[in-house]
Amino acid sequence: MNSATGASDPREEILIHLPALRAFAISLTRNPSQADDLVQDTIVKAWSNIDKFAVGTDLRAWLFTILRNTFFSDRRKKKREVADPDGLHAQTLFDKPHHDGRLAFADFTRAFYELSDEHREVLILVGANGYSCEEAAEMMGVAVGTVKSRTSRARNRLAQLLGMEPGEDVLAGDSGATLAVLSRSGTQAA
């Protein structure tokens, strides 16, 4: 009885996006088991609402939208966290790492997870996935200007947590060394 036969059903492609969905979910929840629950809810919602997906548009962006909406509405329901879009709360919890020009990846990861949910979200969408501010704005349901300012505040907060004040000369002094370490660690990951 199913008329939607064949490869044109976008639901067949959900599988391909699961690793990305899961990575985004982990970035938001900071907890693998919560992340998996979030991915599960996203799959079920996407499956039953597939008629709302505009065929030919970015399926991953659509799935990301469902995932982040689910995450933030769950958070509102549970009220389990203090609203803190600028990560001020997080900053006080952070133990500033040594700064000797060698930025360890572990420090970066730790600093990233200390950011507020809103900051992690925008950095994963714009910084890591390379979505434009316009695309991210659509996914997040906010104005483009909000995405731009939030991205910039999130990057600054991250730099601050890592002991690199954006306005300071810290980086200029040993930027060569820092950059070298960063790009070397980048290639190691591959």
Partner 1 sequence: MNNAPRKSSLQQQIDENLKRVYEETLKEEVPDRFVQLLEQLKAKEREK
Residues near partner 1, by CB under 8 A: 1-2, 11, 14-15, 18-20, 22-23, 26-27, 36, 39-40, 43-44, 47, 103, 105, 108-109, 112, 123-124, 127-129, 155, 158-159, 164, 166-167, 171-172, 175, 178-179, 182-183, 185-186, 189
Task: Give the whole-angstrom CA distance, residue 85 versus residue 122.
Answer: 11
- Closest contact distance (angstroms) between CB of 131 and partner 1 is 12
CA neighbor of 38 nearest in space, from 9, 67, 16: 67
Cβ contacts of 141-149, under 8 Å, gap ≥ 24: 141/69, 147/122
- Closest contact distance (angstroms) between CB of 137 and partner 1 is 18
Task: Give the whole-angstrom CA distance, residue 19 versus residue 45.
Answer: 17
By beta-carbon proximity to partner 1, the closer residue of 141 and 186 is 186
Give the CB-side neighbour count of residue 106, counting CA atoms within 13 A: 2
By beta-carbon proximity to partner 1, the closer residue of 47 and 143 is 47
- Closest contact distance (angstroms) between CB of 42 and partner 1 is 10
